[in-house]
Amino acid sequence: MRIDAGLCPAVFGLSGPVLTDRERDLFARIKPFGFILFARNVETPDQVRVLADSLRPLAAASPCPILIDQEGGRVARLRPPHWPAYPAGDVFGRLFERDPLAGRRAIYLNYRLIAEDLHALGINVDCVPVLDVPARGGHGVIGDRAYSRSPEAVAVLGREASAGLMDGGVLPVIKHIPGHGRAAADSHLELPTVTTRRATLRSRDFVPFRALRDAPFAMTAHVVYADLDPHRPATTSPFVIEHAIRRDIGFDGALISDDLNMQALSGSLGARARAAQDAGCDLALHCNGEFDEIEAVAEALAPASPATLRRLKRALLWLAPPKHFDIEAGRWERDRLLARVEA
């Protein structure tokens, strides 16, 4: 495992299914921590493997972190016919309500299967589990992506999902810390404000994140928590990151901003990136692959701090070769368990 001290503390998307010469030259110069893939970057298994191979020499970290959002349900970058469809998160919560052991086993198998798909492509980080706890009045952007309305159930299921990924050689990213379930707006489109008191957030919304505080990575919520910081969303709030995420929740892993291009944030891309970094995010996430924007974000970021380098190195130490797994038997068992939800 290696991380160059001069890395650009960011994760970048790219424009299409093939790395362009301009992108290759830019990434070779700025040396980002890693990359993230979207539907525009994936066509066939062979194409994705070639793309992943072309990215590895350009990252400051080895092994090169290649991220994707492969939750299942609405949020899946890899889809049929080349990859299996996976269910949305809430089906596992419904099974868990009926039979906790069956729910735990089903979600473990589901993410173990996803890990098999990803590892075969050279993708080693998945932006799951979703640990947000839905609340009355919350926007549907989370909706069926959430495992349950019970914080304790979300914690248990999130742990099993993470275990399934890691047993398959893929690192999880818990999200959206410290909790997006109460947000009454979609942070892709506007800035949500949560007015719930801090004590309630601690006793409910923070619970799953606290239970998984040992995760290697977490992704921030572009949400204002008015009782913590009425002026800035978590991503750019030093108070929320220091007091809620690092202290109340106890998370000391590598903290990734949610996508800087989301409309919840304001200002130029460079200003957003630097505000997230100054607030305490270890990595800035820029997803759309726009060349000029990537340059602006890279130029705005300061060198990674010693604390950030420590957290990034520690996160990558979690990567391990996949354990033996019978894919067909695992898929059959998962499907048999999930059939009980509709029975």
Catalytic residue annotation: 188, 258
The structure tokens 């059959």 sit at 332
Neighbours of 159 (CB within 10 A): 21
Helix or strand or coil: residue 200? helix
Q: In 3D, which of 292, 234, 239, 274 has the Cα closest to residue 258?
A: 234
Q: Which residues pair with 72 in a beta bridge?
A: 75
Among 7, 69, 71, 72, smallest CA distance to 34 is for 7
Per DSSP, 205 falls in state I
Q: How far apart are CA 320 and CA 40, in angstroms?
A: 28
Distance CA(124)–CA(63), nearest Å, equals 9
- Measured between its terminal Cα atoms, the distance across the chain in Å is 47
Q: Which residue has the tokens 């109340």?
A: 248
